[in-house]
Amino acid sequence: MTGWESTSFGELESVPLFEGIVWHPVRRKLGIRAFGINAYTAEGVGRQVIEEHDETGGGAGGHEEVYVVVQGRATFTLDGESLDAPAGTLVYISDPRVKRKAVSEAEGTLVLAIGAEPGVPYEPSAWEWYFSAMPAFREERWDEAIALMEEGLAEKPGHPSILYNLACAESRAGRPLDALTHLQAAVSADPKFADQAREDPDFDPIRREPGFPPS
């Protein structure tokens, strides 16, 4: 055990997400426990490299964040204000309520995001597990998706977003009782998931089961 480790951006996993965003999990790769840190690229110029979000939602961590444009060029939109961000730009967002997003303006644009909640011991954000599971969901590798969601629950017991995504995978995997149990737990923790489940095709296999829709 040396107490240090090195890697490169090229050695990181590439996980396509949505809207052209590709996630490169730095924190998970290195096992960092003190702060969140991840890299993002885009599937071409004009595509999102940072999704539109704030740090107040259910899957967010209330983090202060710094975005570093490592290579390429991006346009950030911060509460409606546009910022040109060539390579070398650092964007610091202290207020978790600020709505932010970024679009790639050059091939190979890479943005590093670093964040943590002030004054609070760091905990990984729930979205890390369902981002990690996206390839398994797309390719219908349900056992793998379930295992990743269960890993997230072990880290963040009772988290409604993780419970919901676990229920989605279990429904598609032909595990109706487990899916209903975890979906009901998600709805109990956050009632918004009841309406979401009614429209979610992942729950088509259990739509006629007793106890669905959840309430």
- In CATH, the number for domain 127-206 is 1.25.40.10
Full DSSP string of 167-206: HHHHHHTT-HHHHHHHHHHHHHH-THHHHHHHH-GGGGGG
The residues of the chain that CATH labels 2.60.120.10 are 9-116
The pLDDT tens digits of the residues spanning 130-152 come to 999 999 999 999 999 999 999 99
Angle between helices 160-172 and 176-189 (to 10 degrees): 160
Which token pair is 148?
């990743």
- Which one-letter amino acid corresponds to residue 186? A
pLDDT in the model for residue 59:
59
Integer-rounded Cα Rg, in Å, for the chain is: 18
The pLDDT tens digits of the residues spanning 165-212 come to 999 999 999 999 999 999 999 999 999 999 999 999 999 999 999 988
Which token pair is 195?
């309406």
**pTM of the shown model:** 0.88
Section 98-125 average pLDDT: 95
The residues of the chain that CATH labels 1.25.40.10 are 127-206
At the top level of CATH, which class does the domain 9-116 belong to? mainly beta
Q: Which of 130, 171, 175, 124 is nearest to 149 (CA)?
A: 130
The pLDDT tens digits of the residues spanning 19-59 come to 999 999 999 999 999 999 999 999 999 999 999 999 887 65
Which token pair is 35?
């702060």
Does residue 1 register a pLDDT over 60?
no
